[in-house]
Chains A and B, each alone.
Chain A
Amino acid sequence: MLSYLLFFITVASILSIATLGLNLQWGISGQFNAGVVGFVAIGGYTLAVLSMPATERLLVQWNLPFAVALAASLVTSAAAALLVGLATLRLRSDYLAIATFGVGSAIQLLANNLEPLTGGSRGLVGIPRPFEALGAVGFAWAYAAIVLTLLALCYAALQALLHSPWGRVQRAMREDESVCAALGKNVVRLRLSSFVLGSVLMGLSGALYAGFVGTTSPSEFMPILTFQIWAMLIVGGSGSNRGAIAGTFVVWGLWTLSGAFIGLLLPPRWQAQAGALQSILVGLVLVLTLLLRPQGLLGARRAA
């Protein structure tokens, strides 16, 4: 039981970091990123590629330590976000959403095809995990500690940013970009900075997950992940960092644990339908949240 709880907290915390990134982009800065999964993938693949032990099949054989590869994954996701941000500078709302969705899918396809770099469709297996010498239990505790520390750091930094002048301008820009520009704010730079920072958090999340499970493959980075992160943010309350984290734990818990409960409650004859019921339940909670509490569990002041 304890080992499962630890596992659940680790995964939910890793996902929370991505949700925090989306909250920065959407909840605070008002940029609709529908390609979350692309930046998660870049982070995950950077860590995997740089830390994989040398094999003849792979182009990059650096076998870097975990911490270095983790730092590098922040750099690559920042670089990718800067490129995407510059390319989509003139796009707003739904146009930005479509463009970023395309970018997310393109990154997944690149991972699927750049075989010498990413292992192609087979993915990369056997990414060295830190603290593996501590055994299964020690690894679980140590990794959970790292993830929770990083989550706390990200949260603290984002809270500080949110209440800084920079955060205030971001929120003002979310409400009315023209007014901001008229007041002499550099809208382009502001948009880019929050987009890049948010994407770096998504990259960090992807890198932490890859380091945790020790494998990565293109099938992990389907658009469903983007949808899940969005659902977590909406349920938790867009605009609130605490809400982003709470929403992640609630939605991920619902997504995974509902299956277990349905399995326990249903008579054996109906077990084969458990999967369908699970989907219905998840959808129901999302719809109910939107109907009864549109601002989310811990929503910010702004009404949708």
Chain B
Amino acid sequence: MPILRRLAVPAAASLLVLASGQAAAQQDCPKLGGVLALTGAQGAIGKVIADAGKLAVDQVNKAGGVKGCQVEFVVRDDTSQPSVGLDAARFLVDVQKVHAIVGLVGSGTALQVVNSVSVPNKIPTVACCAVTPALTKLAEEGKTGGYFFRTIPVARSTALVHATTAIDKGYKKPVIMYINNDFGNGVAPDTKRAIEKLGGGVAGMVPYAENQPSYRSDVQKALAMNPDALILIGLSQDGTAVLRDWFALGGTQNVILHNTMRSPDVLKNVGEKFLEKAVGIDNAPASGPSADAFSRDFQAAYNRPAVGPGLQTMYDAAAVTLLAMQAAPKLDGPSIRDALRAVQDPQGEVVGTGVDGLKKGLDALKAGKKIRYVGATGPFTFDKNGDVIGPMLVWKVQGGNIVTERTFTTEEMQAIEKKVGL
């Protein structure tokens, strides 16, 4: 008992201090919350992602801040555990009164936060990294209230390019083999649907289990469907094994590979001579002044290159949210939600990243002008579900090297998405 008392008193006291401190600091200054995996399974990437978000906030503050205030950015660790992330989000919203949340690495955390905080409390939430299709579905059913956005292209983009490539190459009956997990199930069904919407057809779908020593039986099942091509959606290790069995059993060389197999090791292990007709898809790296400025600033601020998952998307999540806060007539959920789309006005003045770019954007908004934010991930626009589509590319193998066959700009991707209408 005495231990309990000893613990309870300081805890209660600090809680009071905290509460009063919050009350005092709470004018109409924008506050941004971050829920990120700083420790735990995803901790290795999470810390750097937090740095990228902080860079955006620091630069906005250097550019004069939002609504005349220096923005406060409160980052909380979800320890890669959804329930801890949910608690952090609740604390940010209920106690620290943040106006929006950015971050969200794990899909489980994203689901809980969106469902139990963002929607009931009307807190615009911009995810940097969670790609789960469950949130797209939630948005389609109208259950997000439009409060969920993400700056990372969803799996759907890759499905669109798989489908477009199959049609372009004139494959009439491709078979889709895919790994039976969150990733494979997120891409393969959309690929099939997209092919059908584009006027093609598939011979069939063959899911396979992870980490098998041999995929002979799966490949035989696929070959029995008499396909004229193979669309392979797997990871590099199982993908290599599937391809070896595929060619060993006499499968066609018309294959379309996922970006996970864009590696010299895969080519070597499968055998380049089998991959002369093979093509693959991948996300195209953003290029242009905005992306370059981000890379330069990140290197200068943290003395490390801006390489790694989620850096560009996190920077954009924070930057676009802060711009939206400036553009919003009031600092409440619905206004910021609507402003998140308004700062991507296609007719608006193009503004970029870095202190200069953000200052240009903030000043234009203050002057009542429309802007179009072009971020570290290049130009992007939230679709009706709050998802974005990014630039993509198709690669092929030529003389033992991986070369780019064609690229799809964001605009082309949007056109394809419209045509397919998934």
Residue of A nearest to B209 (CB): A113
B81: contacting residue among A215, A224, A246, A253, CB under 8 A: A224
With A122-B133, A126-B143, A246-B4 known as contacts, the answer to whether A259 contacts B77 (CB < 8 A) is yes
B64 in contact (CB, < 8 A): no
B10 vs chain A, min Cβ distance (A): 10
B39: contacting residue among A122, A261, A271, A279, CB under 8 A: A279
B336 vs chain A, min Cβ distance (A): 18
Decide: B7 and A215 in contact? CB cutoff 8 A: no
State the CA gap A224–B84 with chains docked (Å): 11
A293 in contact (CB, < 8 A): yes
With A7-B94, A259-B88 known as contacts, the answer to whether A264 contacts B111 (CB < 8 A) is no
B233 vs chain A, min Cβ distance (A): 14
- Interface stretch (choices B113-121, B355-363, B367-375): B113-121
Highest count of chain B CB atoms <10 Å: which of A126, A213, A219: A219
B185: contacting residue among A4, A115, A293, CB under 8 A: A115
Residue of A nearest to B40 (CB): A224
Decide: B3 and A126 in contact? CB cutoff 8 A: no
A255 in contact (CB, < 8 A): yes
Q: With a CB–CB cut-off of 8 A, which chain B residues contact A219?
A: 82, 106-109
A161 in contact (CB, < 8 A): no
Interface string of B2-37 (1 = CB under 8 A from A): 011001000100100011011000000000000000
State the CA gap A246–B376 with chains docked (Å): 48
With A214-B115, A276-B38, A278-B77 known as contacts, the answer to whether A122 contacts B185 (CB < 8 A) is yes
Q: With a CB–CB cut-off of 8 A, which chain B residues contact A220?
A: 81-83, 108, 112
B356 vs chain A, min Cβ distance (A): 23
- Interface contact tally, CB-CB below 8 A: 145
State the CA gap A264–B16 with chains docked (Å): 13
State the CA gap A136–B123 with chains docked (Å): 13
Decide: A125 and B138 in contact? CB cutoff 8 A: yes
Decide: A4 and B95 in contact? CB cutoff 8 A: yes
A7: contacting residue among B81, B90, B108, CB under 8 A: B90
Interface string of B37-50 (1 = CB under 8 A from A): 01111010011001
With A8-B87, A113-B180, A275-B47 known as contacts, the answer to whether A222 contacts B111 (CB < 8 A) is no
Decide: B116 and A214 in contact? CB cutoff 8 A: yes
Residue of B nearest to A12 (CB): B87
| A interface majority secondary structure | helix
State the CA gap A275–B75 with chains docked (Å): 9
Decide: B95 and A264 in contact? CB cutoff 8 A: no
B19 vs chain A, min Cβ distance (A): 5
Q: With a CB–CB cut-off of 8 A, which chain A residues contact B7?
A: 250
A294 in contact (CB, < 8 A): no
Decide: A263 and B134 in contact? CB cutoff 8 A: no
Residue of A nearest to B46 (CB): A275
Decide: B3 and A297 in contact? CB cutoff 8 A: yes
Decide: A121 and B75 in contact? CB cutoff 8 A: no
Residue of B nearest to A250 (CB): B7
B: interface residue count bin: 35 or more
B98 vs chain A, min Cβ distance (A): 12
State the CA gap A11–B115 with chains docked (Å): 16
A interface residues, tally (CB under 8 Å): 51
State the CA gap A271–B53 with chains docked (Å): 12
Decide: A136 and B121 in contact? CB cutoff 8 A: yes
A159 in contact (CB, < 8 A): no
Residue of B nearest to A280 (CB): B39
State the CA gap A272–B182 with chains docked (Å): 30
State the CA gap A293–B22 with chains docked (Å): 35
B54 in contact (CB, < 8 A): yes
A107-148, CB < 8 A from B? 112-113, 115, 119-123, 125-126, 136, 139
With A1-B94, A3-B94, A120-B185 known as contacts, the answer to whether A276 contacts B82 (CB < 8 A) is no
A272: contacting residue among B54, B79, B95, CB under 8 A: B54
Decide: B18 and A264 in contact? CB cutoff 8 A: yes
State the CA gap A144–B251 with chains docked (Å): 60
Decide: A272 and B18 in contact? CB cutoff 8 A: no
Q: With a CB–CB cut-off of 8 A, which chain B residues contact A115?
A: 185
Decide: B91 and A264 in contact? CB cutoff 8 A: no
Residue of A nearest to B87 (CB): A256
Decide: A278 and B79 in contact? CB cutoff 8 A: yes
State the CA gap A96–B132 with chains docked (Å): 36
Residue of A nearest to B120 (CB): A136
A196-240, CB < 8 A from B? 209, 212-215, 217-220, 222, 224-225
A218 vs chain B, min Cβ distance (A): 8
State the CA gap A261–B12 with chains docked (Å): 12
Q: With a CB–CB cut-off of 8 A, which chain A residues contact B181?
A: 112, 121
A69 vs chain B, min Cβ distance (A): 18
Decide: B84 and A275 in contact? CB cutoff 8 A: no
Q: With a CB–CB cut-off of 8 A, which chain A residues contact B111?
A: 123, 125, 215, 217
State the CA gap A218–B134 with chains docked (Å): 13
With A125-B134, A220-B108 known as contacts, the answer to whether A215 contacts B90 (CB < 8 A) is no
A68 in contact (CB, < 8 A): no
With A220-B82, A275-B39 known as contacts, the answer to whether A121 contacts B185 (CB < 8 A) is yes
Q: A274-B77, A275-B79 are in contact. List 5 more A-B contacts (CB 8 A).
A: A125-B137, A215-B111, A220-B82, A255-B84, A271-B50
In the complex, 16 of the A-B residue pairs with CB atoms within 8 angstroms, ordered by the A residue number, are A115-B185, A125-B137, A209-B83, A217-B82, A220-B82, A222-B81, A224-B81, A250-B7, A256-B91, A263-B76, A272-B75, A274-B75, A275-B39, A279-B39, A279-B79, A297-B4
10 smallest CB-CB distances across A and B, nearest first, come from A275-B38, A219-B108, A121-B182, A275-B77, A4-B94, A136-B120, A256-B87, A122-B134, A275-B39, A215-B111
